[in-house]
Amino acid sequence: MHFHPLPFYKALIVVAAIGTAYALAVTLGHAPACVPNLEGCTSLSALGRTAPESFVFRALLIPVGVLTMLYWVLNRQWLILLGDDGRGGARTMLVIGLMAGVAYIFYLSMLGADGQATKLIRGIWVTLFFAFMFLAQLFLVNRIWKLGPAVRVLLGWPYRVMLGVSVVQLVLGFLVVPIEAFARHADWAKNAVEWNFGLLLVIFYISSGFAWHRTGFQASLSVNEERNNT
């Protein structure tokens, strides 16, 4: 079974969910119309807190958490097929990727709940999601690098985009700290960083899908025939 379309489906669902929810929010007056990646007029999280856009937002994105976990399981299998031993960094990548999916689902499930404690816990979950996704991506890029120049040449531009996205995400992560520490009205900047980090995640998914496609990545499910015959 060919799995290379999965990252494309994942990216498409994310874009459809966010785009539809934001369009509804603007139409109903729940959010201002702007270019949020540049102006930061609203946060991504705000789309999941007010009905009816919150229903679309959560209904489409919660399944993405499950796809995220499957995505990292397949990435480990893909690395093994490319020559990785599947242990060490690849195993760590898998664990962190699974944790990212779990954090993502818990974060989305808490959107719309009131209370300071709930807001704090929700903030912890979304921070863990972004951190775990970034670390898992770093491990993936690093494992590909260690597989040698032949593999990097085979993957071509998708790998270079994945590497570039990881670098930009690292820069954005470092920018958040001084923004929160020194900017008096930093909400717009934090919102813009959040939107751009989400955009970079989508670009990473798409690029990895092209990388899978270039290698003809396939995976299969099987059972132990000897056990079935006993």
Got the DSSP string for 120-162? Answer: HHHHHHHHHHHHHHHHHHHHHHHHHHHT-HHHHHHH-HHHHHH
Please tell me the predicted confidence (pLDDT) of residue 226. 56
Q: How far apart are CA 36 and CA 173, in angstroms?
A: 18
What percent of the chain clears pLDDT 90, i.e. is strictly above it? 62
Please tell me the predicted confidence (pLDDT) of residue 20. 95
Burial classification of residue 230, based on how many CB atoms lie within 10 Å of its CB (0-12 exposed, 13-18 middle, 19 or more buried): exposed
Check residues 178 and 134 and name the one with the higher pLDDT: 134
Average pLDDT value for residue range 138-144: 96
Residue labelled with tokens 């960094």: 89
Judged against a pLDDT cut of 70, whether residue 224 lies above it is answered with no
Burial classification of residue 84, based on how many CB atoms lie within 10 Å of its CB (0-12 exposed, 13-18 middle, 19 or more buried): buried
Please tell me the predicted confidence (pLDDT) of residue 188. 81
Contact, 104 vs 64, CB < 8 A?
yes
Confidence of residue 230 (pLDDT cuts 50, 70, 90): low
Q: What is the value of pTM for the model shown?
A: 0.90
Please tell me the predicted confidence (pLDDT) of residue 222. 64
User: What's the chain's average pLDDT?
Assistant: 88
Check residues 96 and 225 and name the one with the higher pLDDT: 96
Residue range 78-130, pLDDT digits in tens = 999 999 988 889 999 999 999 999 999 999 988 877 778 788 888 889 889 99
Residue range 41-65, pLDDT digits in tens = 998 888 888 889 989 999 999 999 9
